């Protein structure tokens, strides 16, 4: 008999119409409604905010006090979507039309800096390199847990993306199963490798570098392109120039180069409409299921919602919710705009 419960434990539910899974975290309904308890936005102009749960020395929701950290700081998410101790279990009804599976995982928060008022664009390369090292360490540490098969590192930046706390930070959600988007890319990498005997993104990168019109920036180890198939107006893809399956395969020079390219991309974004640019970004890399996954090619996606100015954003509504994404400005135009935007603060 399983102790797994749909009302108490994190689980994923299967959508038989699309084949996708949705993550459900019922235990999080105990979470305080932050919109009512906190001011709409924490001030970004101050280097220390006594009300911020990420600033050094402050007390968090669970009563723990943050250390007086000076570089980066990692802690377990106080209201995690996934828990490490969820009992195993499956729930099925109606000839597999209703399918749910218990999901285990660990969710952490990584503070990039003790300074409340910084962003990736405002941090120096040495500080960003320290963040890259923490990403590598977290990927290795969480990925080494026997039940963890995927580690998702992502950053939500700006109130427009639902992130009201400007303190520079990202999250790491690691899970026992490989989530939808990564599973789709996994299949694409496998199929491409099987059909053409080459890595999909190595080939794509070579093609974009030859054509040039969607290139945004580049250093020795990373290239930034607006992908041909971009959905968000100023979406970019950061590609490792060498075939690396995950962050843990980057050598020291490549980690410095990743810090450099992140700085350059975010500075360009901030200059585009002269505002702190909101976005969701994250890395896609080798699942941590113990397989070598040589087909995987490390990359990062940046999905910013702004369209023509600081106040005009793209919504994914109507046709996009029901049929397919649509865009007006072309990826080639977006790449040209980003290319002509200054890379210095
Ligand atoms: Zn803070
Ligand atoms: Zn590759
Ligand atoms: Zn991807």
Quote the percentage of the chain above a pLDDT of 70: 96
Asked if residue 266 belongs to a domain, the reply is: yes
Quick one: pLDDT at residue 196?
Answer: 97
Q: Which ligand is nearest to the CA of 183?
A: 3
Least confident of 218-227, 245-254, 311-320: 311-320
- Rounded to the nearest angstrom, the distance between the alpha carbon of 296 and the centre of ligand 3 is 10
**Are 335 and 268 a contacting pair, CB within 8 Å?**
no
Whether residue 340 has pLDDT greater than 70: yes
Task: Give me ligand 1 centre to Cα 309, in Å.
Answer: 27
Asked if the structure places residue 183 within a domain, the reply is yes
pLDDT at 295: 97
β-bridge mates for residue 218, sequence order: 223
Reduced to 3 states (helix: H, G, I; strand: E, B; else coil), residue 34 is helix
What pLDDT is stored for residue 36 in this prediction?
44
Tell me: pLDDT of 192 over 80.
yes
160 lies in some domain: yes
37 belongs to a structural domain: no
Separation of 193 CA from ligand 2 center, angstroms? Answer: 10
Q: How far apart are CA 51 and CA 311, in angstroms?
A: 28
For residue 297, tell me if it sits in a domain.
yes
In this prediction, residue 29 carries a pLDDT of: 77
Closest ligand to 49 CA? 1
Give the active site residues. Answer: 169
* Residue 18, domain member (yes or no): no
CATH number, domain of 133, equals 3.30.428.10
pLDDT tens for residues 8-45? 999 999 999 999 999 999 988 766 555 444 455 677 78
pLDDT tens digits, one per residue of 253-298:
999 999 999 999 999 999 999 889 999 999 999 999 999 999 999 9
Domain count, the chain: 1
Task: Tell me the pTM.
Answer: 0.95
**Quick one: pLDDT at residue 1?**
44
Q: How far, in Å, is the centroid of ligand 1 from the Cα of 114?
A: 7
Q: What pLDDT score does 162 carry?
A: 85
Does any domain span residue 77? yes
pLDDT tens digits, 82-115:
999 999 999 999 988 999 999 999 999 999 999 9
Structural domain contains residue 21: no
Identify which ligand lies nearest to the alpha carbon of 60. 1
Rg (CA), the chain: 20
The range of the structural domain enclosing residue 281 comes to 44-340
Q: What separation in Å is there between the alpha carbon of 185 and the centre of ligand 2? A: 13
Nearest ligand, measured from the Cα of 293: 2
For residue 126, report the distance from its CA to the centre of ligand 3, in Å.
26
State the distance from the centre of ligand 3 to the C-alpha of 182, rounded, in angstroms.
Answer: 7
Give the span between the Cα atoms of 121 and 39, in whole angstroms.
Answer: 25
Tell me the pLDDT of the chain averaged across its residues: 94
Could you list which residues have their CB under 5 Å from ion ligand 3? 185, 284
Who surrounds ion ligand 2 at CB < 5 A? Answer: 199, 201-202, 243, 297
- Position 30 scores a pLDDT of 65
Report the residue count for the chain: 345
Percent of the chain whose pLDDT exceeds 90 = 88
Picking from 170, 136, 171, 158, the residue whose alpha carbon sits closest to that of residue 288 is: 136
Predicted local confidence at residue 121, as pLDDT:
97
């Amino acid at each position: 008999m399983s102790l797994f419960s749909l009302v108490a434990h994190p689980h994923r539910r299967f959508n038989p119409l699309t084949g996708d899974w949705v993550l459900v975290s019922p235990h999080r309904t105990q979470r305080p409604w932050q919109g009512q308890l906190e001011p709409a936005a924490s001030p970004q102009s101050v280097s220390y905010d006594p009300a911020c749960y990420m600033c050094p020395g402050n007390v968090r929701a669970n009563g723990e006090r943050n250390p007086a950290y000076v570089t980066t700081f990692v802690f377990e998410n106080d209201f995690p979507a996934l828990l490490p101790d969820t009992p195993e279990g499956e729930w099925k009804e109606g000839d597999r039309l209703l399918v749910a599976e218990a999901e285990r995982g660990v969710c952490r928060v990584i503070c990039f800096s003790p300074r409340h008022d910084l962003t990736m664009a405002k941090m120096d390369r040495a500080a960003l390199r320290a963040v890259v090292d923490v990403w590598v360490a977290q990927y290795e540490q969480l990925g080494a847990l026997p039940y963890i098969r995927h580690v998702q590192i992502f950053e939500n930046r700006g109130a427009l993306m639902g992130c009201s706390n400007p303190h520079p930070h990202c999250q790491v959600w690691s899970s026992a199963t490989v989530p939808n988007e990564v599973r789709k890319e996994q299949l694409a990498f496998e199929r491409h490798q099987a059909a053409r005997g080459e890595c999909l993104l190595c080939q794509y990168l070579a093609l974009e570098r030859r054509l040039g019109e969607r290139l945004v920036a580049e250093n020795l180890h990373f290239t930034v392109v607006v992908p041909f198939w971009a959905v968000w107006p100023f979406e970019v893809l950061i590609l490792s120039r060498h075939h690396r399956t995950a962050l843990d395969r980057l050598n020291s020079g490549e980690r410095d180069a990743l810090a450099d390219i992140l700085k350059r991309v975010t500075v360009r974004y901030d200059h585009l409409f002269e505002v702190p640019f909101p976005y969701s970004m994250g890395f896609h890399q080798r699942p941590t299921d113990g397989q070598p996954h040589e087909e995987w090619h490390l990359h990062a996606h940046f999905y910013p919602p702004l369209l023509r100015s600081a106040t005009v954003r793209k919504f994914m509504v109507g046709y996009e919710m029901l049929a397919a994404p649509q865009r007006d400005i072309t990826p080639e135009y977006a790449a040209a705009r980003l290319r002509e935007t200054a890379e210095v603060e």
